[in-house]
Structure 1
Amino acid sequence: MSPKLTMIAIILGAAAVVLSMSTYVVDQREQALVLQFGNPKAVVQDAGLHFKPPWQSIVTFDKRLLESDVPPNEVITKDKKSIMVDSYARWRITEPLQVYQVARTQTGVKARMDDVVRGKVREVLGQHTLHEIVSGGEKEDLRVALMKSIRDRADAGVQEFGITVIDVRIKRADLPQENSEAVFQRMKAERGRIAKEYRSEGEEAAREIRAEAEKIQKTLLAEAYKKSEIVRGKADAESTAIYAKAYNRDAQFYSFTRSLEAYRNAIGTDTRLVISPDSEFFRFFEQSRK
């Protein structure tokens, strides 16, 4: 290659390098900060191809809505209860220059914003009781108001960082592990107390039912005994009347049949009686020999 062509190639190569160092592209999802020897010179938010001197550098920041998962935060409520609050925040970089001046990078400003959000969560929730935080208390929109208050205070606290907090939400609020165990034991004791009350009430009801059943049983038995005695009395009266009628018709025959019945009941196959032969019991035997 001739010296002339070599020189042209060198010039073109140098021009290409200078051109590459003088141009940059801003993505539609980003915004750029132009630096000259570390000092901010301009903020570029328009997407597309842009030009700059070769000695300047570019730092890009995200333009989209960002989400930050804030680490769990211990909060002391108004009624002195300790809870672990897990929250997240949505935010956006609005002033890249301020972000660079405060934290240099997007990651650095995110860490500062997380600190502010945690502080505002403790500040707002600390003004309310655990019942109000968990269930909303007597106001239906209390939890919405709490989230709005945290967002507004956090947004006011990060204005100097060049960002805007769009929203703050609580994912969950749990008691610390040691508190959870204590609450579980209290719940267990409370359920045991309620179960004991139910058992006591059941035993009392059972005793009342048994007492009532025994009372009804005694009443029925007494009534049945009364009726049976009345029937037995009537039957005895009827049998006595029949015996009396039979006796009046033939007293001698009646005595004879009663004696035979007595012999049948008193004297068995192997029965031995030690009795005088002339006793009244054998008087019909004496009569038969005569």
Structure 2
Amino acid sequence: MKPVRIAALGVLGLAFLGATLTLYQVDTTEYAIVTQFGRPVRVLSDPGLYIKAPDPIQSVLKISKQIQVYNLPKTEFLSSDKKNIMVEAYATWQVTDALAFLKNVNSLRGASTQLNDIIKAELGAALGQVELGNLVTVDTSQASLPDTLNAVKERAAARTGAYGFTVTDIQLKELTFPEANLTSVFQRMRSEREAIARQFRSEGAEEAASIRAEADTEKAKILATASRESAEIRGTADAEAIAIYAGSFGRDKDFYRFSRTLEAYDKFIDEGTTLILPADSELLQYLDPRNALKLPPSSTATAGSPKVTADSERDR
């Protein structure tokens, strides 16, 4: 019984070893290249379980389909207006032809070497055609950096296609300037912001002037309406007062003259008033004690108390 068991175990071991040497799996995120004595004979891109001749007759190389990231070290470039800029960029790339990739670059390190040369050359050529003011600006209508990077990506993708991979995107991680350029760049940015601030202040002043003009117009309308209404009310009141005065004058002329004179006294005479008038002035007839008996019979008022000095030409 033991020899049979040993034989079965041997057969199972040989079967497992054979499966290990001949079966292989391809994941959805990778390419598989089958090589026979070092020469590629088959490329597989669909996921699944496959069979091959055992090593060392046939071997399997796997290459990732996933997007890779390459970081370009900080490099100094020259803009079209001869300004030095320091750029640190990154690129995303992906293998599109596994067989061409294996023949031309062979590995990720080889792809990084090619990317470094291509991206550096294309970035230098593109940035050399753009002025610094269009790379660093707060005016989005003048900014040309996005279009420049898109052009660099397209040219780099065209050049890397022959190596079996393509560049999918290029972006800047940092754009700075050498110390010699920082002062001029900051001054330009300050000038642009001051220009924007002046524009906002001008628009605000214009809007304020428009609001004030509308308010002044409304104020003028309100004052005109109020003036017209007050004039109408004043006219009505004056007419009523004249009617009352006329009625009083018609009933008792002496009393009317007396009351109007007292009103005149009230308007221009106070404790510090000194009047110099002829002795026979009608205005003094109710202030002169000698004329006290001449008060109208219907009046119950007496002469006022202000000090008044009446000098006639005879007294002088």
TM range (shorter): 0.5 to 0.7
Q: Which residue of structure 2 aligns with residue 50 of structure 1? A: 50
**What is the TM-score with the length of structure 1 in the denominator?**
0.58
Aligned counterparts of 2:137 and 2:131: Cα–Cα separation in 1: 10
Q: Which residue of structure 1 aligns with residue 118 of structure 2? A: 116
Report the identity percentage.
29
Aligned counterparts of 1:70 and 1:59: Cα–Cα separation in 2: 28
Q: Which residue of structure 1 aligns with residue 127 of structure 2? A: 125
Letter matched to residue 120 of structure 1 = E
How far is 1:110 from its partner? 2.7
Secondary structure of the residue aligned to 1:43 is strand
For the Cα contact (< 8 Å) 1:131–1:137, is it kept in 2? no
**CA displacement 1:47-94 (0-9 Å, x = unmatched):** 121111112222211112222222222111111111111111121110
Give unpaired runs (5+ residues) of structure 1. Answer: 192-290
Q: Which residue of structure 2 aligns with residue 220 of structure 1? A: none
How far is 1:123 from its partner? 1.0
Letter matched to residue 104 of structure 2 = V
Would the alpha carbon gap of residues 138 and 63 (structure 1) be closer, same or farther in structure 2, given more than 3 Å must change?
closer
Matches within 5 A, 1:124-273: 124-135=126-137, 139-140=141-142, 142-176=144-178, 178-180=179-181, 183=184
Aligned counterparts of 1:20 and 1:54: Cα–Cα separation in 2: 8
Letter matched to residue 22 of structure 1 = T
Aligned counterparts of 1:88 and 1:73: Cα–Cα separation in 2: 12
Aligned counterparts of 1:117 and 1:181: Cα–Cα separation in 2: 25
Q: Which residue of structure 1 aligns with residue 207 of structure 2? A: none
State whether structure 2 residue 101 is matched by structure 1 residue 91: no
Letter matched to residue 40 of structure 1 = P
Q: Which residue of structure 2 aligns with residue 6 of structure 1? A: 6
> Counting helix residues as a fraction of each chain, which structure ranks higher?
1
Count of aligned positions: 187
Aligned counterparts of 2:157 and 2:82: Cα–Cα separation in 1: 27
User: Cα RMSD between the aligned structures?
Assistant: 2.7
Give unpaired runs (5+ residues) of structure 2. Answer: 192-316
How far is 1:183 from its partner? 4.8
